[in-house]
């Protein structure tokens, strides 16, 4: 029923707004409005339970043949479990943290209600395979650059980089950036994010080893 879908979507959007509001409350505000927040969460859970039960009554066992339905069932079940454990006051702190994560995940149900979000989610899932191969390819290129820099700067590790200052106040050395493979990979990742890449890393290192520009420039351009 289109009206039923619209009503379910409105409830989910209201629940997402409720999560945004409660997430910004301080602990004092949560304690002060504890009863109101609990009843609001209880009302939303009741609406979710009614929705799932109506879908099961309408579809029968076919309800569990759909992946989104199974996700809905698990998320609503976790909501009911959270209410029961909190009501009888037997939930440990660790269990409550897990249940709070489930509370946030319930907002993911909005993806099912909005067609455009479903299309985006399906497209993202289909692109994950290509993304894995792209990530592997970039990791190989980054590893090659790291090996070249570590091997080429081996004799200059002790040189201090005056333009790059450690939080302690002393200057970094080339060895801090390219002394070993893990450090070099992390430094190249810093360059990739353009975080202090020029004045903090590339210029100071290139001042003592100009040939490194033959590695840095192609890396920045192509990676």
pLDDT of residue 1: 64
pLDDT of residue 126: 79
pLDDT tens by residue, the chain, 223 residues: 677 777 877 887 788 788 778 777 777 877 787 778 888 888 888 888 888 888 888 888 888 887 777 877 887 887 787 777 766 665 554 555 555 555 566 666 666 666 666 677 677 777 887 888 888 888 888 899 999 999 988 888 888 887 667 777 778 888 889 988 999 999 999 888 888 888 888 888 888 889 999 999 888 888 7
Q: How many CA atoms lie within 13 A of 192 on its CB side?
A: 15
The kind and range of the H/E element at 39 are: helix 34-59
**CA-CA distance, 93 to 97, in Å (whole number)?**
6
Helix residue ranges per DSSP H, 60-109: 67-88, 93-105
pLDDT of residue 98: 55
Looking at residue 170, the DSSP 8-state letter turns out to be S
| All residues at 6 or more sequence positions from 188 whose CB lies less than 8 Å from its CB, including other chains | 142, 145, 146, 149, 219
pLDDT of residue 211: 92
pLDDT of residue 96: 54
pLDDT of residue 161: 82
| All residues at 6 or more sequence positions from 121 whose CB lies less than 8 Å from its CB, including other chains | 111
Provide the angle, in degrees to the nearest 10, between the axes of the packed helices 34-59 and 2-23. Answer: 150
């Amino acid at each position: 029923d289109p009206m039923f879908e619209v009503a379910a979507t409105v409830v989910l959007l209201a629940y997402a707004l409720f999560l945004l509001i409660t997430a910004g409350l301080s602990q004092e505000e949560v304690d002060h409005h504890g009863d109101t927040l609990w009843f609001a969460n209880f009302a939303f859970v009741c609406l979710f339970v009614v929705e799932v039960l109506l879908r099961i009554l309408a579809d029968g066992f076919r309800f569990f043949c759909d992946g989104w339905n199974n996700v809905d069932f698990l998320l609503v079940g976790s909501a009911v479990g959270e209410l029961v454990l909190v009501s009888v006051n037997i939930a440990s702190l660790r269990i409550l943290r897990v249940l709070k994560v489930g509370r946030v995940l319930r907002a993911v149900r909005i993806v099912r209600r909005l067609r455009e979000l479903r299309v985006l989610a399906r497209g993202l899932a289909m692109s994950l395979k290509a993304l894995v191969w792209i990530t592997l390819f970039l990791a190989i290129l980054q590893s090659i650059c790291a090996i070249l820099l570590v091997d080429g700067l081996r004799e200059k590790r002790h040189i201090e980089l005056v333009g790059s200052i450690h939080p302690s106040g002393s200057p970094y050395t080339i060895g801090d950036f390219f002394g070993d493979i893990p450090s070099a990979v992390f430094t190249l990742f810093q360059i990739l994010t353009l975080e202090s890449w020029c004045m903090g890393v590339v210029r100071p290192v290139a001042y003592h080893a100009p040939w490194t520009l033959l590695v840095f420039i192609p890396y920045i351009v192509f990676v």
